[in-house]
Amino acid sequence: MACSFLSEWRLARVCAEEPELTSLVGENVGLCVEIRDLRSHLRDVPNAEWFRRLRELSLVKQWQQGPEFARWQLGQASLSALLGQPLDQFVSELFGESVLLVVSPSSTGPPMGMLLARAAKDDTWDRVLALWDLLEAHEVQTKSAFGRSFQVRRKKTNGQTTGADLFTVKLGRTLAISEREELILEVITRSASAANENRVKPLDQSLTYRRAMSSLPESSAVRVFVDPRRWDEELAKDSHSAAWLMPLWQKLEWLSAGLEVRDGLVFHSVVHHDTTNLPAIWQRFVEASESPSDLAARLPADAILAGEARIAPDLCRWLQTLDPSEKSQRDWLTFGKVTRGLLGRDLFDEVLPHARPSLGGAIVPKTPVEEHSAPVDGLLAWQFDLSHRQPNTGDQPNLRESLDGALLTLLNFAAVARNSRNPDSPATLKIQHHESLTIKWLDTLPPYPPAYGIAAEHLLLATDPRLISAFHDRSAGDSALSSEPLFASVRSRHFSDRSHWLFVNSRAAREFLNKQHEPLSRQVAHWRKLATPSVTPQLDRVRELLTPFDAAFFAAKVAPGEVRFTAGMVTPDPQR
């Protein structure tokens, strides 16, 4: 017992004394990919609920019964026999602590890369190199620098050396491998404290690198760092094809990315940029993104798809400047005349300035699914300042009347088109007044009764008037999306501070497909003019593909000098 404790204490002490892999490379790297504590991820991921469901997919089981999987198992068994231990255990020992891949631009040729990995045991790399030489013939040459030996491996085929030279150096539990000798020499010199004078400081002491890594979640299994300035000369070599990219690229200060695998697959990305001389529209966009919103508390809890974007009201005016061609400007002029005819006022100067940044919506499944009717309903909500009824000035209506008149005209056009083809079942206009909300819709118009509502703070469009009235009456209660357990859990863990977001409730979609499988099959068969039995397997496949993950999302945050993206597919663990 005492000997075992002593050996573990010695191993822990050696591990603590070994330098970080990022201290063995300079801050002049252009790309860095780092995997920390791979051992725990290899242990935890197979036990995760999302991974267990993934293994149960018919596609995976079919692959496991095929010849490719059989060959893979045979190769795995052969390697395990050579190693004297299971392959997954060996991989865990090999890369279990940390792995670092760095790529640097070169002034004399293509970019140069190096892989560094820290094994769990000191003799692991000796076994790996011996196995490598056993499986593949090499000509091995040993060199030395700064009191350390390193090796050059040249692959031999039919007695002739082929391929590029591979340089390797083993420093305790760490192995570095590269096709460039100068990178290996740099690792050797940085491993000796006395040889670090007057050198580029190590990556782990770079302020830019530290900021980039601190912008990512601590639980990230994989972290990526990109220094745009290191690649300026590489892009300049291909200046003709990259000319359009250079102005944007020059604004970037650093980029980072991370991958979490705890609850599923969650990807994070952060872009940090210079804020000087940015277009005015970008400043408006940043301001719009920082505006508060309670839209999630107004959207329905049973939505299978919901989202929100913060849009600067003068975005459309900026879009007109993107294409200065005569045809494009003429099209914009025509569009302005048409919208002015509908609204009775200028869309860009007199309507959109009253819009607020929040624009969002939801798609809700119908239960039960009605024959020859769409299986889902949709709602779109755009925040407008309509709380004050501006008085009419001359022949111009106030803003509320302008919006109502334009949308009513579109409904009338739809009714005329419908009734001219179906005089026996005419579409009729319905109107409902509810406190400060007025709802208008066309009845008996398949597959949707188009509806709109104008409230004090929102312009609402929907495929069912009941969605509009429910949106108006809803607060942050049980029927709101913000209080739906799955959405609340995923949002709080992954995108609570994101102002732009899109959420897919695949769990609700699966339940909808289960409960409404037969009517949905008939509906799809009717639309696609197919036999119902041929549609059923397709819906089963869709339902199965939705099985591994309960939710999917994409979210973004735009702040001064920084843009953050998050996207993922997750099955949250309720115990965490």
Does residue 29 have a pLDDT over 70?
Answer: yes
> Which of 164-178, 242-256, 550-564 shows the highest mean pLDDT?
550-564
User: What pLDDT band is residue 107 in, cutting at 50, 70 and 90?
Assistant: confident
Whole-number Å distance between alpha carbons of 247 and 188: 39
pLDDT at 395: 62
Token output for 209: 């690198």
pLDDT at 1: 46
Percent pLDDT > 90 in the chain is 44
Q: Which one, of 496, 490, 98, 510, lies nearest residue 263 by Cα? A: 490
**Residue 455 domain-assigned?**
yes
Does residue 169 have a pLDDT over 70?
Answer: yes
Mean pLDDT calculated for residue range 383-391: 70
Weakest-pLDDT range from 364-373, 470-479, 532-541, 548-557 = 470-479
pLDDT at 555: 97
- The residue among 236 and 168 whose pLDDT is bigger is 168
**Residue 444 domain-assigned?**
yes
- The residue among 159 and 484 whose pLDDT is bigger is 484
Token output for 443: 């009845």
Containing structural domain, residue 387: 312-483
Does residue 61 have a pLDDT over 70?
Answer: yes
CA quadruple 361, 367, 370, 373: dihedral, nearest 10: 10
**Residue 274 domain-assigned?**
no
113 alpha-carbon distance from chain centroid = 27
Overall domain count for the chain? 1
User: What pLDDT band is residue 260 in, cutting at 50, 70 and 90?
Assistant: very high
Q: How many CA atoms lie within 13 A of 376 on its CB side?
A: 16
Residue 314 near residue 284, CB atoms below 8 Å: yes
pLDDT at 7: 46
pLDDT at 394: 56
Which whole-number Å values give the CA distances from 108 to 112, 113, 228, 247, in the listed order?
Answer: 10, 14, 19, 26
User: What pLDDT band is residue 8 in, cutting at 50, 70 and 90?
Assistant: very low
Does residue 487 have a pLDDT over 80?
Answer: yes
pLDDT at 545: 93
List all residues 6 or more positions away from 7 whose beta carbon is below 8 Å from its beta carbon: none
Whole-number Å distance between alpha carbons of 313 and 2: 72
User: What pLDDT band is residue 478 in, cutting at 50, 70 and 90?
Assistant: low
SS3 (DSSP) at 161: strand
**Residue 65 domain-assigned?**
no
Weakest-pLDDT range from 110-114, 349-353, 443-447, 455-459 = 443-447
pLDDT at 466: 92
Does residue 549 have a pLDDT over 50?
Answer: yes
Whole-number Å distance between alpha carbons of 380 and 382: 7
**Residue 206 domain-assigned?**
no
Average pLDDT, the chain: 86
Q: In this structure, which amino acid lies at residue 223?
A: R
Does residue 6 have a pLDDT over 80?
Answer: no
Token output for 407: 């949308």
User: What pLDDT band is residue 5 in, cutting at 50, 70 and 90?
Assistant: very low
Q: Give the single-character DSSP code of 200.
A: P
**Residue 359 domain-assigned?**
yes
pLDDT at 182: 92
Does residue 467 have a pLDDT over 90?
Answer: yes
Q: Give the single-character DSSP code of 26.
A: B
Mean pLDDT calculated for residue range 258-279: 93
Whole-number Å distance between alpha carbons of 477 and 222: 38
**Residue 387 domain-assigned?**
yes
Q: What is the pTM of this model?
A: 0.88
Question: Per residue in 511-544, pLDDT tens?
Answer: 999 998 888 888 888 888 888 888 888 899 999 9
Mean pLDDT calculated for residue range 256-279: 94
Question: Per residue in 431-460, pLDDT tens?
Answer: 998 778 899 999 877 778 899 999 888 999
Q: Which one, of 96, 118, 129, 112, lies nearest residue 184 by Cα? A: 112
**Residue 456 domain-assigned?**
yes
